[in-house]
Amino acid sequence: MSDVVEKTLTALPSLLSLDSQPGSAKLSSSSKLGLLIRGITELTSKHEEEKLIQRELSSIKEQVSSPNATMRQMKELMVRTIYCEMLGYEASFSYIHAIKLAQQGNVLEKRVGYLAVSLFLNENHELLLLLVNTVLKDLQSTNLIEVCMALTVVGQMFPKDMIPAVLPLVEEKLNHPKEIIRRKAVLALYKFYLIAPNQVQHIHNKFRKALCDKDPGVMSASLHIYTQLIQDNPEGYKDLTASFVTILKQVVGGKLPMDFNYHSVPAPWVQMQLLRILSLLGKNDQSTSEIMYEVLDESLRRAEMNHNITYAILYECVKCIYTIHPKSDLLEKAAKCIGNFVLSRKINLKYLGLKALTYVVQQDPKLALQHQMTIIECLDHPDFIIKRETLELLFRITNAQNVTVIVEKMLDFLRTSEDDYTTIDLIGKVAELAEKYAPDNEWFIETMNTVFSIGGDMMQPDIPNSFLKLLSEGFDSVEEDSKLRLFAVNSYVSLVQGEPSKLPQRFLQVICWVLGEYSHLREDLEPDVVLRLLAKLLDMKSCSSETKSWVLMAMTKLCSGGAAACAAQEVSETYSSSLDTVLRQRAHELQFLSQNSELQARVFPRSDDPEPVEVDSSLSFLDGFVSEALAAGAAPYKPPHQRQEELSRSKALNMEPYGLSLPISMSSSSIAERQSPTLLSISSGLSGDSTDLSHKGGSTALKLDGVKRVWGREGYLTQKEPAEAAQVEVPSPLQSPSQQGDGDRSQTQTSTPAATPECDQEKQQLASSLFVGLSSQSSVCLMGKSEPTFQRFRKKTKGPSTSSITSLETANQLVSPPPVDKLLCNSLLDSSIASELGVSSPEQTTQLSEGFTDNATCDAQVELAGSDMKGSDPAVNGDDDCDVAAFSEDPDPHKDLCLPSHLPAEFSGLVHSEITPVVTNQSLDLSVCHVHKEDCLVLVVFITNSTDSAIQQLLVQIVSEELEVTCMYDSPEEEVRSHVVAVRQYCIKVKRPLVHFELVGMVSYQLPAEMPQTVQFSYKLPLTSFIRPLTVSTEEYGTMWLAFSHDTKQNLTMMSDEQQPLVATLNALKKKLLLHVVEIIGEEGIVACSVLQDQPCLMHCRVHAGMLAVWLRSSVPDLPDCLLYHCQRTLQEH
Amino acid sequence: MRVSGTKDFQKMIKFVLMVNQQGQTRLSRYYEPVDLSKRAVLEAEAVRCCLSRNKDQCSFVEYKDFKLVYRQYAALFIVVGVTDSENELSIYELIHNFVEVLDKYFSRVVSSLPIMFNLDSVHIILDEMIQNGHIVETNKSRILAPLTAIDKMADG
């Protein structure tokens, strides 16, 4: 340490100590502040302190309001008030006096007045307006000290709205002969830029002047503005790179006056600021980076003095080198630098080294390999912070091969951690890693169990939510899914049998849900056993009412059948009189459903492949409500990120302990989404395994094998080899001999003297398991760059099966079905699943034609099926249904194939959908297709009389609430002879846009000598069937855009076309949705379409941060939302 | 992830505290608005974090979503709250620079009086060094220039 420091340090204790100095008592007694401080220091309780300060404050209050108080006394009083308020006692009475003091006091008094104002008031305080005049006056003062003070306070806080009043005066000061005034003026403008950037837009060139100021102080003040400006827009300031490089060169080269030195290092903080600016400028920009290589090299070279401040500079330098476009020899030097840090015995330096390594490892994972032994040692470091930082580092280098070891280390740490914030943060990371890289089911469930146990009720609610989502949505293989679920069930049953009272509520809720959904997978487990286990939870004192309602929900799913129903009855009786309304509701549901097993089965169909729930993601059905609310003066909706932004702007320093991202209440979202009180949404309905059947291949099994081999007892050793090989191999280019020597020395130094060879070996083993997969050749899985092949629990990108089917349907409508589909359909009909065609609906046929074997049939379709179907089992058991049998026994491909020939000739040139059978009974076959005409959609209904006699009084009525349906020809023949096809046409127009339209048809007819009969059918049309390209010029588009008032915005995922993602995306939309691409300019594109011919909708697309920001506008309410839904669907399919 | 995007570059100082070993606050300066009612809790917790550590441990502590950098001078602790992306070592040295400035001023101007009895002067010095959470001046003579000028005027 230098002499200067030594001297300073010895001088300091006397300077800073309060209590140990004999002389101070006498001196301080003359100062009232001294008395106050002394008084407070001597107190022993908080209560006494409060009493003393309240007394002090009331005495101050009395004195400041006295008209005789001199400014000198006022200043003294104000300092005391500052002290009291600093201790947390509000003294708002003094605020106005502080402003008065700044206004009327002489120099020192004025300064204290300004100081008190800046301490007491925040930027939005209304009293601040009273300061504006004083500031204006002082800015014009001839006394430089007063000008200086005014500029200081302006740089600290100033009412945003009053900036224009002082701006000209501040600008003028930029040319002041005194450097301190120029410097303060620059800082004041910086403040203005922070609070109101557009107010200072016109003086950007003056900032450049400040940057070139001959005084280094003014120059360095301007660096703050440039850091901010460049951060906001790096492209705009590339031309300044050379200037910053020159400045840094001069600073590093010692060209500044000596008094800028700190411990003989020239202006270290300015150097660091410049390095940060350079890294902002050089990021992802090779040519700009090249300009700075030389100066970075010089900075590294110059910063060789052994002092903390040079290390601080080196740290910035290393970060910069790893941020900008890489240059190998600089990287090498930077890596060496990090090595020195990490190996240092100075703990602060070690910390900084780990932090740098954490940053750098994202670019260069090999560096972690080099320092693996140090990292291992840091994991066992006695200092909590070092451990914590090491875990952060490990988190960044986790891959499928080392995940178990790293997660174990993290959990070890968590078990000893007492800090809530750390726990929340780390538990989230463990959950993230577990989901991403889990090697097997067992490990995954057990890890998540630990996560839930440790994370308890303070972890972020999205952890259990996404866990349940993962379980319910499943992965690529149905078999694996049930294995995972079964494992979870087994694990939870034993937990509940153990000591459930020790488990956190959130975990219990997860357990309840899983047992309710999946306990049937375990065949030896009777529902009533599970029910009794769950009932035990209800009796626990610690069980919250929220958890109780989860328990009851789970019971509701299990309560069918004898013993279970009895057990459920008991419970529901207890809770049906509960004071908690939610519990009471649940209890009543349980009671009702346990008595009616048929309804229970319908509400909770127990199937691994459950019927998907249709979700209108655009929530278009609420639009009416929203517009009403808006009209009534409600505030418009702001998306969560915007709200969050505004929130964080309003209170910048969040002192709430759990102020983490968006709070999604587990209970509310889960219950609302999956277990709504009306029991309409089917609890397990999110699974969509069928959709992925076609993608299912052997890949899953292969992947799993690969991973397991790594972690088998023997496999462990085989993995060790490449890791060690890499360890030997890697250092050679990057580590200089001296460096290696260093490393060796430190290894011997840091290992405890008692360390036995086994201990070292243990560490070696740990190292090989931690750093496996990081060697240069093996696949690198870093945060954010994870390799998909190793992700076991990859979330499905596709939505639930219905949605994809609907979009498939859309696709089919646009091109007439190829004959192959028909064949496929027929061959499937012949096969085992033919029986399921009982109530064939458009969806199903499409599904079949696509080769899906989704055996889920929805209730809604059943209800809409032919009247003669009514009363049959809702769970569609085709085997005992004669209609179905008739149909499946007689597939008669000829019948289907001949229908197209009945399509009216006038439609021959037009695009039409596949002809879909909608109703079949003994007497009729009803098929429907739709034809895209320019001005309308024509629905063509084919009625085939399958009886041997003529059908009479045939009447087809089609209705829809949102569509306008007109019959195209006044009812033609009312009689249809035997085995003849009658064709009806309906012209359909859109009254009100919807995502999907539903047409309900009613066919009434009479067979000779029989009662008249009716058959109902339904037919679904997506909005896309009505969309037509709208050819407009860019100018026309512009006029229309301004005229339209209904709009919506969203970010969509783009297609991953390397070259032109925007063009590729728009082309896909054009192809699938028939939109018209008006123009594409650079990163922006405009697209137009209309619903039939009269309802135009415009779309504006812009590439933003890798996403497609779309903005839709239309003259028709709801249309933008509906169209957006389809765009989203279309793009998701890719 | 804790930090992302532009926030990563948002380096700043959140507050500066001077606290004695009993945990009593001697000076506090916040660069982000914090409710008066929450300050006492924050300060008490921050001090507890720092006091519980020994000399062999790192001078940086994690506290909630930010870091504390602290340095001890005899019975006095100086604690600086910084964002996670700030360079802790540079702040550690900034504290020392601040103390050296205090030393320079108080040893020359009001030699023996403990600095805490001159709360206003300490604040004025700090204001010259840190503004809006950024380090704006580290040159000792320039930091002291306004204050010495004020003193001269007050005396004369």
Selected for mutation to probe chain B from A315, A653, A654, A786 (highest B CB count within 10 Å) is A653
Min Cα–Cα distance to chain A from B33, Å? 6
Min Cα–Cα distance to chain A from B116, Å? 8
Q: How far is CA A943 from CA A15, A927, A972, in A?
A: 102, 7, 13
Structure confidence by residue, pLDDT tens digits, A999-1040: 888 888 888 777 788 888 888 888 888 888 888 888 888 888
Q: Which of B22, B39, B120 faces A112 most closely, judged by CB atoms?
A: B120
Q: Residue B108's closest chain A neighbor by CA?
A: A15
pLDDT score of A192 more than 90: yes
Instruction: For residue A115, list chain B residues with Cβ-Cβ distance below 8 A.
Output: 120, 123-124, 127
Surface-to-core class of residue A249, CB atoms within 10 Å of its CB (0-12 exposed, 13-18 middle, 19+ buried) = middle
Q: Which of A145, A259, A422 faces B150 most closely, judged by CB atoms?
A: A145
Given CB atoms, is A311 within the 8 Å cutoff of chain B? Answer: yes
Q: Which of A312, A347, A385 faces B61 most closely, judged by CB atoms?
A: A385
Tally of CB atoms within 10 A around A896: 18
- Of A765-769, A796-800, A1115-1119, B63-67, minimum mean pLDDT range: A796-800
For residues A832-869, one letter each, b for 16 or more C-beta atoms within 10 angstroms of the residue's C-beta and e for the rest, the string is: eebbbbbbbbbbbbbbbbbebebebbbeebbebbbebb
Instruction: For residue A21, list chain B residues with Cβ-Cβ distance below 8 A.
Output: 112, 114
Q: Across A358-372, A417-431, A473-487, which has the greatest mean pLDDT?
A: A417-431
**A734/A406: higher pLDDT:** A406
What is the rounded distance in angstroms from the CA atom of residue A294 to the CA atom of residue A933? 68
pLDDT score of B94 more than 90: yes
Instruction: For residue B32, list chain A residues with Cβ-Cβ distance below 8 A.
Output: 652-653
Given CB atoms, is A13 within the 8 Å cutoff of chain B? Answer: yes
Instruction: For residue B65, list chain A residues with Cβ-Cβ distance below 8 A.
Output: 421, 425, 654, 659
- Identify the band that residue B7 occupies on the pLDDT scale cut at 50, 70 and 90: very low
For residue B8, how many C-alpha atoms fall within 13 Å in the half-sphere facing its CB? 12
What is the rounded distance in angstroms from the CA atom of residue A688 to the CA atom of residue A686? 6
Cβ atoms A368, A402 nearer than 8 A: no
CB contact under 8 A, A262 and B107: no
CB contact under 8 A, A180 and B73: no
Structure confidence by residue, pLDDT tens digits, A1087-1100: 898 888 888 888 88
Residue A721 makes CB contacts below 8 A (sequence gap 6+) with none
The pLDDT of residue A419 is: 82
CB contact under 8 A, A348 and B89: yes
Q: Once rounded to an integer, what is the mean pLDDT over residues A477-482? A: 82
**A854/A793: higher pLDDT:** A793
pLDDT score of A729 more than 70: no
pLDDT score of A690 more than 80: no
Q: How far is CA A558 from CA A369, A387, A527, in A?
A: 52, 46, 6
Instruction: For residue B24, list chain A residues with Cβ-Cβ distance below 8 A.
Output: 40-41
Q: How many residues does chain B have?
A: 156
pLDDT score of B54 more than 50: yes
Given CB atoms, is A352 within the 8 Å cutoff of chain B? Answer: yes
**B10/A707: higher pLDDT:** B10
Given CB atoms, is B137 within the 8 Å cutoff of chain A? Answer: yes
Min Cα–Cα distance to chain B from A452, Å? 19
Given CB atoms, is A553 within the 8 Å cutoff of chain B? Answer: no
Cβ atoms B71, B51 nearer than 8 A: no
pLDDT score of A123 more than 70: yes
Structure confidence by residue, pLDDT tens digits, A1032-1041: 888 888 888 8
The pLDDT of residue A1028 is: 87
Q: Once rounded to an integer, what is the mean pLDDT over residues B64-84? A: 90
CB contact under 8 A, B134 and A111: no
Q: Which of A18, A23, A355 faces B116 most closely, judged by CB atoms?
A: A18
CB contact under 8 A, B89 and A20: no
pLDDT score of A709 more than 80: no
The pLDDT of residue A861 is: 40
What is the rounded distance in angstroms from the CA atom of residue A239 to the CA atom of residue A246? 13
Given CB atoms, is B60 within the 8 Å cutoff of chain A? Answer: yes
- Of A86-100, A556-570, A920-934, minimum mean pLDDT range: A556-570
Cβ atoms A184, A114 nearer than 8 A: no
DSSP alpha helix (H) spans, A105-159: 107-120, 131-139, 144-156
Given CB atoms, is B132 within the 8 Å cutoff of chain A? Answer: yes
Q: Which of B27, B102, B114 faces A21 most closely, judged by CB atoms?
A: B114
Name the A residues in 250-289 with CB < 8 Å from any B CB. Answer: 259-260, 262, 267-270, 272, 276, 280
Name the B residues in 109-128 with CB < 8 Å from any A CB. Answer: 112-117, 119-120, 123-124, 127-128
Given CB atoms, is B40 within the 8 Å cutoff of chain A? Answer: yes
Q: Once rounded to an integer, what is the mean pLDDT over residues A542-571? A: 84
The pLDDT of residue A636 is: 79
DSSP state, A126?
Answer: G
Which element (helix H / strand E) includes B20? strand B13-20
What is the rounded distance in angstroms from the CA atom of residue A17 to the CA atom of residue B114? 7
pLDDT score of A895 more than 70: no
CB contact under 8 A, B140 and A783: no
CB contact under 8 A, A316 and B14: no
Structure confidence by residue, pLDDT tens digits, B15-26: 999 988 888 888
**B125/A864: higher pLDDT:** B125
pLDDT score of A93 more than 80: yes
Q: Once rounded to an integer, what is the mean pLDDT over residues A361-367? A: 81
The pLDDT of residue A615 is: 64
Q: Which of A155, A351, A654 faces B131 most closely, judged by CB atoms?
A: A155
- Of A215-229, A425-439, A560-574, A663-677, minimum mean pLDDT range: A663-677
The pLDDT of residue A700 is: 31
What is the rounded distance in angstroms from the CA atom of residue B92 to the CA atom of residue B59? 8
Name the A residues in 209-228 with CB < 8 Å from any B CB. Answer: 217, 221, 224, 227
The tokens describing A951, both together, are 């059908």
The pLDDT of residue B73 is: 87
Min Cα–Cα distance to chain A from B99, Å? 8
Phi and psi at A326, nearest 5°, equal -70, 145
Residue B92 makes CB contacts below 8 A (sequence gap 6+) with A308, A312, A348, B59, B60, B69, B71
Given CB atoms, is B151 within the 8 Å cutoff of chain A? Answer: yes
Cβ atoms A289, A252 nearer than 8 A: no
Name the A residues in 160-189 with CB < 8 Å from any B CB. Answer: 180, 183, 187
Query: Is A473 strand, coil or helix?
Result: helix
The pLDDT of residue A797 is: 41
The pLDDT of residue B114 is: 67
**Quick one: what percent of chain A has pLDDT higher than 90?**
25
- Identify the band that residue A30 occupies on the pLDDT scale cut at 50, 70 and 90: low
**Nearest-CA neighbor of A1118 among A523, A525, A621, A563?**
A621
Radius of gyration of chain B (CA): 16
Min Cα–Cα distance to chain A from B5, Å? 10
Structure confidence by residue, pLDDT tens digits, A606-640: 655 555 556 666 777 788 888 888 888 888 777 77
- Of A73-77, A739-743, A1110-1114, minimum mean pLDDT range: A739-743
Query: Is A36 strand, coil or helix?
Result: helix
Helix axes A478-497, A505-518, angle to 10 degrees: 130
Given CB atoms, is A42 within the 8 Å cutoff of chain B? Answer: no
